[in-house]
Structure 1
Amino acid sequence: MYSTVPDGYEKYSDPPPSYSKDTASGVPVSSDGSLYYESSKPAAFQIQSKTRLPWSSGLFGCFSDLKTCLVTCFCPCITFGQVAEIVDKGSTSCGASGALYALVCCVIGCPCFYSCFYRAKMRQQYLLRQTPCCDCLVHCFCECCALCQEHRELKTRGFDMTIGWHGNVEQRNRAVAAMAPAEVEGSMSR
């Protein structure tokens, strides 16, 4: 029926997966337990949900941003706090997240058990691949490199890490307002 299928799209030969509504929330859920969204596009042009994007830089690309690398080596709670604030979309502050990271580090001695959850959350938000291994192992064996990679990824995506989530939102709102056309005062009348 179709001669070519655009990249990133899948032609379905079978009907879309069956779904039912979750009784507690009423949200459609597919048979494998994942959320199922109906699309207005034909099934032949639905984007594959399994497609994951690569990270903008490698895990060991720490030295491309020497300042972040040094801060992370000597005080990883600062880098973690900045990443956590952006990933949580401002629901927790940089200071609170950094303090909790430092507390976990002092009490347990291994903050990777806390920070790996933020890596997983960030990967889900931006559809990033789980490379080179699972998030927990990346943070257990390369904590500083993992934090630096997450920091670089967010910077690459346009976030100014020094001003936090609310500062980035305000900055983007100002940019959008500046691009909006000015209203024309007075209209023509007879």
Structure 2
Amino acid sequence: MAAGEEGSPLLPKQEESVKEENIPKQEEGAGWTVDGLPLGHGNVVGAPVSRSHWDSPLFACLGRNDEFCSSDLEVCLLGTVAPCMLYGSNVERLSLAPGTFANHCLPYTSLYLLGNFLFGWNCLAPWFSYPSRTAIRRKFNLEGSCEAFSRSCGCCGGTMEDDEQREQCESSCDFATHFFCHRCALCQEGRELRRRLPHPGFNGRSVLVMLPPVEQMMAREA
């Protein structure tokens, strides 16, 4: 039985196992960056990427205090009057694929009308729209509400060691933000996307401008 185990090709040889023991193991605290790069100590390429902040606060309806953009006013009006259109526009700009506006705007509108008809307020649409906030946060490596709160109050050392636990907490905060501050969340996401991503309808397309022909005047004979 022992001779059969030693000659089995499925089992590693003893010499290879000894070599593997000499290989230094990766530290348990190492992780991965947003771009899929390993987090290494002293390595510039694999250095941890610090999370950036949102371009404007949640309740900044007209954008940042030091800068006013005309698109911020448009986002504020859409979020107040027609949140379904703002949500569809955000998802279309986030996916950078034309045609996704109707696929997200119509289901949102149905849930919006159903929630207002049955319960008197928009309580169903946030269940459908909050994943877009999670996608924006992951795409641009933005700081979540839970992480920002822990950093400001100083609890949990300012960060969470377990990435899976932190992500679950941030997803719950994304849902709570959409559920209790739904219109403000849509407006904040709209401002963020408009400053970071071009509209998919104009992404990589050249505009051809047709000029009318110049009028030609016949020279009069002297």
Shorter-chain TM range is 0.5 to 0.7
Larger radius of gyration: 2
Question: How much has 1:154 moved relative to structure 2?
Answer: 1.0
The AA in structure 1 aligned to 2:174 is D
2:93 to 86, 95, 100: 86
> What's the RMSD between the two structures over aligned residues?
3.4
Deviations 1:84-107 (A, max 9, x none): 112223175212211111112233
Assess if the C-alpha contact under 8 Å between 1:16 and 1:43 holds in 2. Answer: no
1:155 to 170, 186, 194: 194
1:137 to 148, 151, 176: 176
Q: Structure 1 residues 48, 168: closer, same or farther in 2, change over 3 A?
A: farther
Question: How much has 1:42 moved relative to structure 2?
Answer: 8.3
Question: How much has 1:62 moved relative to structure 2?
Answer: 1.0
Q: Structure 1 residues 32, 61: closer, same or farther in 2, change over 3 A?
A: same
Deviations 1:134-166 (A, max 9, x none): 11111111111111111100111142xxxx42x
Runs of 4+ with deviation above 3 angstroms: 14-18, 30-39
Q: Percent identity at matched positions?
A: 25
Hey, what does 1:67 align to over in structure 2? 74
Q: TM-score, normalised by structure 2?
A: 0.54
Deviations 1:93-138 (A, max 9, x none): 2122111111122334421111111100111111111126711111
Question: How much has 1:168 moved relative to structure 2?
Answer: 3.3
Q: TM-score, normalised by structure 1?
A: 0.62
The AA in structure 1 aligned to 2:97 is G
1:168 aligns with 2:202: yes
Structure 2: how far apart are the matches of 1:119 and 1:130? Answer: 10
Q: Which runs of 5+ in 1 are unaligned?
A: 1-13, 19-29, 176-190
How many residues align? The count is: 142
